[in-house]
Every structure is written in structure tokens, then in C-alpha cells.
Amino acid sequence: MIRIAGVDLPDTKSIEIALTYIYGIGRTRSKEILNLLKINPETKTKFLTDKDISQLRELIEKSYTTESDLKRLVSLNIKRLVEINCYRGRRHIQGLPLRGQRTKTNAQTRKKTASKQSGRRYK
């Protein structure tokens, strides 16, 4: 098993899919990384050479914000929105959708968690 950025990548998956197990790397970024390093995206993770693994690890840690750093950055951005009391910050506090979605018929999950947080019962 290969460990990159604190995440164990599965051996049986292609490297393109396995890289998406790292928080902050999706399919597009995975393809971009593999094109830069000239690694075949179809290659299974267990068949990568040590040189390929070290190049992957080095590039990801040097060039991209991933895992705990990215999670910390996202939570700081949300805290900033809450502190300045903007519309999106208030929607975060209330536990409601914040990008203009309708709430009359949709967003039941988000509304349910909001009502549990405020102490009301949801029926």
C-alpha cells in the first residue's frame, strides 16, 4: 500500500482513481498530476515504481494544499464569514443552504440538521 499525504492509496485501483482518495484532489487534478509526471493513468497503484511514487509524493506535497491544511483553510473561511456576519455566514449559523437554493420543497437534510441544532423537534 502506498501512502501519500497521510492517506493509504488502494492497490487494486488505477492510479487516476486512487489519487482521488486524497482530500483536495479530484479527477481533473489527478489527470493533471499524472500528465505532468508522464505516468499512465490506467496503471494500477501496486505496479508503480519507487521512482514514480517518490515523484508523486514530492509533487503533491510541494504544489498542492491537501488533507488537514485544506480542511483547516476551509473552516477558517467559514469562521470568517460567520464573524463578519454576512449573509452566507448567517446561513451557516442557521444550517440552511447558502447559495440561493429553494428551501420550501428541497434541502430537507440541511433543514433537519438545523432544527436539531437549535433544539426544536423536526417532524
Write down the domain spans for the chain: 2-67, 85-117
Distances (CA, A) of 49 to 45, 63, 78, 109, 119: 9, 21, 40, 45, 54
Give dist(CA 108, CA 105) in Å, integer.
7
| pTM above threshold 0.75 | yes
| E strands, the chain, in order | 2-4, 7-9
Is the pLDDT at 120 greater than 80, yes or no?
no
**Mean model confidence pLDDT for the chain:** 90
User: How confident is the model at residue 111, as a pLDDT?
Assistant: 76
Helix (H/G/I), strand (E/B), else coil: 46 = helix
User: How confident is the model at residue 118, as a pLDDT?
Assistant: 61
User: How confident is the model at residue 75, as a pLDDT?
Assistant: 95
Per-residue confidence at 122, pLDDT binned at 50, 70, 90? very low
Per-residue confidence at 102, pLDDT binned at 50, 70, 90? confident
Is the pLDDT at 117 greater than 90, yes or no?
no
74 with 65: CB under 8 angstroms?
Answer: no
Give dist(CA 17, CA 36) in Å, integer.
16
Q: Which amino acid is located at 73 in the chain?
A: L
Give dist(CA 73, CA 78) in Å, integer.
9
Pairing of strands 2-4, 7-9: antiparallel
Could you report the per-residue pLDDT of 3-15, keeping only the tens digit for each? 999 999 999 999 9
Could you report the per-residue pLDDT of 58-82, keeping only the tens digit for each? 999 999 999 999 999 999 999 999 9
User: How confident is the model at residue 119, as a pLDDT?
Assistant: 55
Indicate the CATH number for domain 2-67: 1.10.8.50
